[in-house]
């Protein structure tokens, strides 16, 4: 086996590869940019090599620097992770030329399948059913318009070298193509160093289902069943699961056989993923092949018991697969939630900053479910604007899908983050939706279920009781410490008001709801002033709530339900009823930066008349370009930023008269 492997990547996948190498007794080297100098991966690896400035184009995407680091540290092989150089056939060939083993498929397989345009030509020639589209490179916006109108809207504009949800836009009209084509081309050039674009028909309400394949250098290929990745936002996967709730054994076998046949046709010899777009009727079409390890590989590992990183390493070393297709079976159900540094309450805009608190749920068995959390960060680390905003990948496994979903909901309760905005409340909302629990998924799920964006959810009856009980318990604990304990209070949760009587000792509390004539039993209380989470058991149901002090009460969040809870004396409650409502600030004449980033273009000037929907400026953050539009007809009064300027969140970019 290899003695030393260099990991040409960063973040959680670098940490993931290090863990497997440690178990196999293989020394590790990581490369790092300026932004990652103090990262967890650098701390964990046996050696670390600095390879340049923070932008990926000056560090992780520079093959010469990776090769030089391999030579300097005498690493025998390089694992590229995902993204960056992982699907570059030239890099795989360069490694071979330099006598370095590339832990991934051979250059020929990458060339045949890694390029989305060429892979569609290859698949079509091999008789594989493909999504209708224009198989070939699009030269400019004019040709993009011609092709789009020939195929028929809606169409998907895609970067040939794309991945990770980057370089993809859905165009529903001529205007969408005129704006989307140059934006996708710019994203592709910046993220992948390759601005080739193709266009295909966008199939409405599809499901995204992919087959994991695994091959060795002896002609053996197996599939490790499927993953459902239909819960997406902006073409970026958010929640994945294995197996798929759509497939029956016959469809699973057919998709798996097609994926294996395609892999064998190109002599595939590593881990890879054949992606399909599937209809609700279980019809499926080949979409593309990712010639690398997928972000969502943990759910496949959880249902098969295999370590895919280990299998990649063994295959690269030349070992034959130690199992055949008949040796593989699906065990239980696994779900992955991608924890992103983004603000779901502000249209999921990227959020950067320091992780003031980072407290994920403990990994391991939790009774009915098991928790796994793949992360590349620690408390105190900074989420950088230069890379994807992923914080971690939270997974749960259980014998059944319902138990895995319930386990994920509980695990999300136990995940506490402070600093940058994060999507944990949103993920919790999805887990609680009847449609998700029923497995009625589609790539349009988020748009269907949250058409106006995410603003949290209204408390259920249980959550309303929980908010009341937790607020009372916190008030009681604080008052007892000050020697001012009272038994009778008025609790205000949102627009509801409740008279309560408190009794109990130690970790147990009874909350009598006097207006309703019923009582709440809160036991196993685990909280003290200063703690950001409150744990307990309400009426026999264990829970974790996120809590923070507020004037005369607390802000409490349970899953996606968040409220300000006031615990007041009767007189204070009367006075609160008389307070005037505070009007929100008027920002209708301002265009604010929704996130920290760089101004790519400023498309308006002082004195210019703009119409509703017109582009005002373009910002880039986390490798994504974001178009800001005028929300009404107006005349530009001031312009406060120029192309190339760094801007902060909520900075005023343009002011209207």
Point out the residues that are catalytic.
Answer: 288
Alpha helices by DSSP H, 74-140: 89-97, 107-109, 116-125
- Closest to 511 measured CA to CA, from 492, 493, 538, 484: 538
Q: Select from 229, 211, 237, 189 the least CA-distant residue to 57.
A: 189
Do residues 33 and 52 lie in contact, with contact meaning Cβ atoms separated by under 8 Å?
yes
Instruction: Give the Cα separation of 419 and 354 in Å (integer).
Output: 6
Token pair recorded at residue 417: 């983050």
Distance CA 279, CA 288 (A): 16
What is the enclosing helix (H) or strand (E) of 15? helix 11-24
The Cβ-side half-sphere exposure at 201, using a 13 Å CA radius, reads 14
Q: Tell me if 155 sits within 8 A of 178, measured CB to CB.
A: no
Q: How many CB atoms lie within 10 A of CB 529?
A: 9
DSSP E strand boundaries for 411-516:
416-418, 488-493, 496-503, 509-513
Structure-token match 């081309």, residue found = 185
Q: Is 516 exposed, middle or buried (0-12, 13-18, 19+ CB in 10 A)?
A: exposed
Positive or negative CA dihedral for 279, 280, 281, 284?
A: positive
Length of the chain: 657
Q: Are 287 and 202 in contact (CB under 8 A)?
A: no
Contact of 424 with 525, CB cutoff 8 Å: no
How is residue 111 annotated by DSSP? Answer: I
Burial label for 510, CB within 10 Å (0-12, 13-18, 19+), is middle
Q: Distances from the Cα of 527 to the Cαs of 373, 508, 548, 614, in angstroms?
A: 24, 12, 12, 51
């Amino acid at each position: 086996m290899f003695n030393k492997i260099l990991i040409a990547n960063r973040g959680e996948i670098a940490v993931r590869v290090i863990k497997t190498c440690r178990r196999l007794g293989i020394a590790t080297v990581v490369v790092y940019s300026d932004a990652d100098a103090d990262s967890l991966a650098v701390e964990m690896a046996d050696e670390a090599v600095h390879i340049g400035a923070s932008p990926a184009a000056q560090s992780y995407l520079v093959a010469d620097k990776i090769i030089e680091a391999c030579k300097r540290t005498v690493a025998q092989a390089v694992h590229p992770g995902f993204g960056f150089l992982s699907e570059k056939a030239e890099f795989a060939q360069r490694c071979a030329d330099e006598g370095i083993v590339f832990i991934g498929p051979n250059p020929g397989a990458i060339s045949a399948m890694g390029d989305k345009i060429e892979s569609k030509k290859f698949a079509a020639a091999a008789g594989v059913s493909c999504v209708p589209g224009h198989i070939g490179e699009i030269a400019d916006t004019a040709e993009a318009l011609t092709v789009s109108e020939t195929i028929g809207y809606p169409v998907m504009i895609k970067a040939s070298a794309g991945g990770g949800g980057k370089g993809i836009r859905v165009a529903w009209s001529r205007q969408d193509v005129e704006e989307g084509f140059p934006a996708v081309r710019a994203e592709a050039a910046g993220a992948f160093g390759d601005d080739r674009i193709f266009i295909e028909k966008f199939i409405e309400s599809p499901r995204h289902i992919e087959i994991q394949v695994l091959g060795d250098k002896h002609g053996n290929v197996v599939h490790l069943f499927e993953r459902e990745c239909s819960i997406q936002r902006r073409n970026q996967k958010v929640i994945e699961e294995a197996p798929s709730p759509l497939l029956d054994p016959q469809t699973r076998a057919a998709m798996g056989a097609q994926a294996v046949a395609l892999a064998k046709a190109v002599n595939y010899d590593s881990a890879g993923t054949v992606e399909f777009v599937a209809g609700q009727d279980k019809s499926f079409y080949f979409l593309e092949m990712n010639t690398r390890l997928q972000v969502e590989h943990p759910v496949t590992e959880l249902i098969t018991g295999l370590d895919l990183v280990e299998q990649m390493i063994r295959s690269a070393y030349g070992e034959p697969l130690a199992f055949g297709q008949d040796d593989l079976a699906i065990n239980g159900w696994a779900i992955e939630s991608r924890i992103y540094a983004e603000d779901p309450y502000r249209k999921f805009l990227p959020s950067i900053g320091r992780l003031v608190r980072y407290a994920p749920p403990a990994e391991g068995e939790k009774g009915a479910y098991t928790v796994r959390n793949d992360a590349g960060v620690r408390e105190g680390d900074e989420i950088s604007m230069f890379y994807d905003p992923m914080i971690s990948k939270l997974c749960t496994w259980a014998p059944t899908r319902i138990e895995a979903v319930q386990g994920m909901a509980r695990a999300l309760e136990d995940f506490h983050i402070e600093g940058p905005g994060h999507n944990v409340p949103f993920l919790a909302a999805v887990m609680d939706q009847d449609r998700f629990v029923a497995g009625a998924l589609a790539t349009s799920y988020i748009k269907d279920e949250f058409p106006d964006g995410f603003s949290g959810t209204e408390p259920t009856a249980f959550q309303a009781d929980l908010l009341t009980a937790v607020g009372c318990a916190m008030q009681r604990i604080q008052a007892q410490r000050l020697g001012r304990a009272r038994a009778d209070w008025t609790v205000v949760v949102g627009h509801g008001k409740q008279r309560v009587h408190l009794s109990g000792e130690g970790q147990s509390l009874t909350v009598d709801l006097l207006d309703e004539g019923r009582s709440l039993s809160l036991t196993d209380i685990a909280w003290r002033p200063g703690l950001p989470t409150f744990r307990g058991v309400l009426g026999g149901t264990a829970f974790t709530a996120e809590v923070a002090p507020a004037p005369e009460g607390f802000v409490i969040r349970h899953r996606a339900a968040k409220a300000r809870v006031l615990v007041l004396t009767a007189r204070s409650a009367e006075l609160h009823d008389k307070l005037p409502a505070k009007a929100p600030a008027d920002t209708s004449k301002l265009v604010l930066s929704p996130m920290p980033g760089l101004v790519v273009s400023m498309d308006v000037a002082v004195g210019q008349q703009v119409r509703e929907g017109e582009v005002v400026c373009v910002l880039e953050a986390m490798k994504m370009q974001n178009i800001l539009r005028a929300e009404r007809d107006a005349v530009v009064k001031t312009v406060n930023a120029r192309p190339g300027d760094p801007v902060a969140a909520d900075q005023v970019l343009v002011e209207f008269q």
